Structure 1
Amino acid sequence: MKTKTLLPLLLAGLTIPAFADIDRTKKPEPDPAPAASFPDYRTETLPNGLKVFVIHDDRKPTVTFRLIIRSGSIADGSKMGAASFTASLLNRGTEHRDAATFALETDSLGVKVEAASGPDSISVAASGLTKYTDKILDLFSDAVLHPAFADPQFARVQKQTLSSLEAEKQQPSSLAEKLAGKVVYGSFPYGNYLTPEDVTALKRDDLVAFHHAQFLPNNASLAVVGDVKADDILPLIQKAFGSWQKGEVPELKLPELPKIKGLTIHLVDRPGSVQSNIIVLSDAPPRNNPDLPELNVVNATLGGGFSGRLFQNLREKHGWTYGSMSAFDYKKLAGDFEATAETRNEVTGPAVAEILKEIERIRTEPAKEEEIALQRQYNVGNYLLSLENTSRTAQRVQDIDLYGLPADFYKTYAKRMSVVTPAQVEELAKKYLTASDVAIVVVGEAKEIKPELEKVGKVIVYDQELKPVTK
């Protein structure tokens, strides 16, 4: 009874909210992208040449350290795998702590010291609670400056790598990516991939030599992100890395970068395959390309996700694949564009033709504003969301230094993507995409798919060791 009495009184006191008249059949317009969404940071250079970036972020009581060496696998020289092995062993024991001790100390703090290598750099990162900053820095700097490269750990990584390479022979996607690198870059180091022979030829002394030559403070940068102030953290960094001696970075002797001319098809014969892995490749600009933010929207329109044209064509329209995507792979000195799909054998040739058709269509057929608006929102939203990741923020600050990007590159990043027009998409697609100067890599059963591929272009056949087959 009390409820019945109170309910009319409560309802009488309610006011109709202002949003009651909103037309919910219409999608609301998105807010404009922030003019400057990337955080400010302080830059200092230590006397030994180590460049330090401090980004204050007090949302959590944590701190992230990320150091990069501006030398990756491109600096391997004749010792293929030196960079990747060096990175793999940095957290597996130092001159002051064996592998077990190092692991025990990091685990006790809830800290992981991790390293990875890429074509242009090696990164080492550690994160933890701010109250452990001193201890994190001690472990972090020990891994960077004094790795032991102990024989048992070296042997373990060597064995694991050989096992991974053996497994990759059974993975069509791995075969496709390896051959794609060779097709695009030829003898240039960006196209190199590890072989079992490279791994067995590598010795511990090669890692020591690589570390000595490339791990120099004037060949490195350190980003610090977290609940720390520059005036407090810089003296601690000086203490941890100040004794690191600078030196002369070895000059790289590199061959000329090749260019893709005409259309060729490179087919890896994999008997028994019931589907084909397809990669359509073309040349692309390096990482410091001034049109990069806008190109994100171009790529998203063509093949950046479920709403991309490649997906809509090959998956939704034809039902030939679970998905088809595209991406630009930017490196310091060059880049490449890849459009990919996995299809049934019987539709491999038609799928390749449709990928080429979509590449040509985005170059010549104006897109609608609604289509580009969707891709703008998608890219801006993903970027703003990624700013929550402190390691990603650290990487972006260091990318500005590593790749020679404008200082305000990430401050204007979201804004530039948010104003891309259909006309710009067409203009940039004509400038950076091509359906004629392409190399097409396919992994599948040659006897089933080669005849259809020959309708598209000349086919070169390879075995599963990625060696051309001669008849």
Structure 2
Amino acid sequence: MSRTAEEIGRTELGPRPLPPLGEYRAATDLSYVDTVLDNGLRVVAVRQSTVPMVEVRLRVPFAGAEPRHAATAEVLSATLLTGTATRDRVGVDTELALVGGELGASVDPEVLSVGGNALADGLDTLLGVLADALTGAVHRDDEVAGERARLIERISIAGSQPSVIARKALQKHRYGDHPFTREMPEAEDVAQVGAEDVRALHRAAVLPRGSVLVLVGDVEPGTAVAAARAAFAGWTAEASAAVLPPLPELTPGDLLLVDRPGAVQSQFRLSAQSIVRTDPRYPALQLANLAFGGMFSSRLVENIREDKGYTYHARSYSEFTPDGATLLIDTDTASDVTGGALREIRAELARMVATPPDAAELETVREYAIGTLLIATSSQGGLASQIAALAMLGLGVEYLLGQPGRLKAVTVAEVAAAAAEFFAPGRFTGVIVGDAAKLGSLRELGGVTFP
């Protein structure tokens, strides 16, 4: 016979006591070098010798204002590692396999990303293959044609997904036609991309100056930097990699209802202006957000998932944008409870302001924040990805090492101030995507613009 979690957690003498949480211990064996090479490439090399591997993360600012830039960039990322003048696709894969390695590329409106790993003693090979792709990728006609066809098929499938429709609607509502909104190219634009378009974009935009290379693994930082310097000596350019122009600040206002006839669910995507990681208020905001909707036992989840049963999934989180940040709330609900879900979301926002986390709630989210950070950075891959994300914001290893201390120092009063400043319901705007014919109850709540 099965027992509930409450029954398992109790004894004849009462609830089982939880073991005390361990003290956070800083990584004492973490040595690193953070430098800029002569070609303008920033290299961050960190020794973490948990396994005899090395992780690589390359981030190249890759913004473009031209309407078809997103389409060309997607094809470029898909064919970047398919061959150079000296290695074909099989040659690239074989050389990496001989050192237990792999590389993959992707792109978004901000950056071209390349990531992978190899055995630590294969670092020179890993960097050599990467450097060859950056300086000598040929983007062969047949490779471009094949990846273009696959990309068009993926776009066609993704374009019908409710989450994709909601994200596109939110981006347009927030930022209009800013290049940051072009997270997925249009299929018709991809169909027009030719191999020469891809090669031209590569020559013009795959540049070292302003880019970041992160190396984490069982290798001395100085040795890793020397290997990068040798590998990328031929990757040069006078120009800098292109960054996105700043985004306009969000204007609070009504939610926009985006009609999706026949939909059985409604997608909520709410957003408000926030602050960057270097703002002294950010640690308090991070903890306030965890209490509101940033973890499974948060207030929002307890209300609209556990208590009301309106949704299976709900969350709030920070999104860091060019020169700024936003706070987002998203959830999906059945059409017939859309009005109730909106009412409860607004109520939870108001409750965050009126009744901010007390000392006990603060300690819970603080331990969660520090614990998840430790987990995220415990592996070489996790640490490399964390550092790469911070590096694109102008930060480094020292910021990551100092974050637990900043979280520990946050007071109840600081969290209350962050809750009052950033969670007021009137600060938000956003979209609800659903069948407008089924959502008449939203008119009674107000603050929703119908199509």
State TM-score, norm by structure 2.
Answer: 0.88
Distance 2:234 2:219 in 1: 23
Give yes or no for contact 2:275–2:282 (8 Å, CA) kept in 1: no
Residue aligning to 2:200: 209
- Runs of 5+ unmatched residues, structure 2: 1-13
What secondary structure is seen at the aligned counterpart in 2 of 1:306? coil
Query: Is 2:75 the partner of 1:103?
Result: no
Offset at residue 283 of structure 1 (A): 2.1
Assess, with a 3 A threshold, how the Cα gap between structure 1 residues 406 and 156 changes in structure 2: closer, same or farther: closer
Give yes or no for contact 1:34–1:414 (8 Å, CA) kept in 2: no
Give yes or no for contact 1:221–1:398 (8 Å, CA) kept in 2: yes
Query: Which of 69, 77, 99 is residue 80 of structure 1 equivalent to?
Result: 69
Query: Which of 366, 377, 381 is residue 391 of structure 1 equivalent to?
Result: 381
What secondary structure is seen at the aligned counterpart in 2 of 1:33? coil
Assess, with a 3 A threshold, how the Cα gap between structure 1 residues 58 and 100 changes in structure 2: closer, same or farther: same
Query: Is 2:32 the partner of 1:41?
Result: yes
Assess, with a 3 A threshold, how the Cα gap between structure 1 residues 434 and 411 changes in structure 2: closer, same or farther: same
Query: Which of 348, 353, 357 is residue 347 of structure 2 equivalent to?
Result: 357
Assess, with a 3 A threshold, how the Cα gap between structure 1 residues 93 and 293 changes in structure 2: closer, same or farther: farther
What secondary structure is seen at the aligned counterpart in 1 of 2:262? coil
1:180-219 matched pairs, under 5 angstroms: 180-193=170-183, 194-219=185-210
Offset at residue 156 of structure 1 (A): 2.0
Distance 2:397 2:100 in 1: 34
State TM-score, norm by structure 1.
Answer: 0.85
Residue aligning to 1:233: 224
Figure out how many residues of one structure are paired with residues of the other and give that number: 436
Offset at residue 413 of structure 1 (A): 0.6
The percentage of aligned residue pairs carrying the same residue is 27
Assess, with a 3 A threshold, how the Cα gap between structure 1 residues 394 and 83 changes in structure 2: closer, same or farther: same
Q: Which moved more, 1:128-137 or 1:37-46?
A: 37-46
Query: Which of 229, 236, 244 is residue 245 of structure 1 equivalent to?
Result: 236
Give yes or no for contact 1:124–1:144 (8 Å, CA) kept in 2: no
Query: Is 2:423 the partner of 1:433?
Result: yes
- Matching residue's letter, 2:403: Y
What secondary structure is seen at the aligned counterpart in 2 of 1:408? helix
Query: Which of 232, 236, 250 is residue 259 of structure 1 equivalent to?
Result: 250
Deviations 1:283-332 (A, max 9, x none): 22345444333322111101112211111000111111112111111123
Deviations 1:304-363 (A, max 9, x none): 122111110001111111121111111232322221121111110110121111112112
Distance 1:76 1:86 in 2: 16
- Matching residue's letter, 2:104: E
Distance 2:30 2:282 in 1: 20
Offset at residue 178 of structure 1 (A): 0.8
What secondary structure is seen at the aligned counterpart in 1 of 2:198? helix
Residue aligning to 2:410: 420
What secondary structure is seen at the aligned counterpart in 1 of 2:392? helix
What secondary structure is seen at the aligned counterpart in 1 of 2:51? coil
Assess, with a 3 A threshold, how the Cα gap between structure 1 residues 221 and 341 changes in structure 2: closer, same or farther: closer
Give yes or no for contact 2:292–2:299 (8 Å, CA) kept in 1: yes
- Runs of 5+ unmatched residues, structure 1: 1-22, 462-471
What secondary structure is seen at the aligned counterpart in 2 of 1:234? helix
Offset at residue 192 of structure 1 (A): 2.5
Larger radius of gyration: 1
Give yes or no for contact 1:329–1:337 (8 Å, CA) kept in 2: yes
Offset at residue 270 of structure 1 (A): 2.1
Distance 2:97 2:81 in 1: 12
1:279-428 matched pairs, under 5 angstroms: 279-286=269-276, 288-405=278-395, 408-428=398-418
- Matching residue's letter, 1:198: D
Distance 1:382 1:38 in 2: 20
Assess, with a 3 A threshold, how the Cα gap between structure 1 residues 253 and 414 changes in structure 2: closer, same or farther: closer
Deviations 1:176-208 (A, max 9, x none): 011111111222222224222332233333322
What secondary structure is seen at the aligned counterpart in 2 of 1:395? helix
Residue aligning to 2:166: 176
- Matching residue's letter, 1:118: D
Residue aligning to 2:83: 93
Residue aligning to 1:8: none
Assess, with a 3 A threshold, how the Cα gap between structure 1 residues 310 and 253 changes in structure 2: closer, same or farther: closer
What is the aligned-residue RMSD (CA, Å)?
2.5
1:144-163 matched pairs, under 5 angstroms: 144-163=134-153
Give yes or no for contact 2:110–2:180 (8 Å, CA) kept in 1: no
Distance 2:444 2:147 in 1: 42
- Matching residue's letter, 1:370: A
